[in-house]
Amino acid sequence: MIVRNLNDIRKSDRNVRSDGWASARMLLKDDGMGFSFHVTTMFAGTELKMHYQNHLESVFVLKGTGTIEDLGTGEIHRLEPGVMYALNEHDRHIVRPETDILTACAFNPPVTGKEVHDETGAYPADADLVAAD
């Protein structure tokens, strides 16, 4: 059994910050669950262009408001508490938080904990392999 406290994770190296977001990584690849689980905050007033080419992600909005734009279709969807979106086709997208948006996210395959977005908006396929280069 794995039991972790969000406040402890936020004080550790499992809390990763980058431009426009902070992600408390509750479960990672080395936990052996087959997915990773994150509590992520996307900050108000930012524009986060992402394209997870190597991962599938589902996101559940807990707090805050904003929009997500599907760059493949041009559709814009409202984000607010209770809304879930899944990037099931490696969808290119932009999240535009109007307020800080608190989310719970799952990634498959799991991330290692070292990832931040590259110039394409993706995480590397396996950060352990990238770090070893």
Q: Looking at the domain assignment, is residue 117 inside a domain?
A: no
Q: Looking at the domain assignment, is residue 67 inside a domain?
A: yes
User: If we measure between CA atoms, which residue out of 105, 103, 100, 104 comes closest to residue 65?
Assistant: 100
- pLDDT value at position 121? 53
- pLDDT value at position 101? 98
Give me the domain span that covers residue 58: 6-111
Q: How far apart are CA 53 and CA 107, in angstroms?
A: 12
In order along its 133 residues, the chain shows pLDDT tens digits of 999 999 999 999 999 998 899 999 999 999 999 999 999 999 999 999 998 888 899 999 999 999 999 999 999 999 999 999 999 998 999 999 999 999 999 999 998 877 665 565 556 566 444 443 3
When divided into structural domains, the chain yields a total of 1
Q: Looking at the domain assignment, is residue 122 inside a domain?
A: no
CATH number of the structural domain spanning residue 53: 2.60.120.10
- pLDDT value at position 123? 60
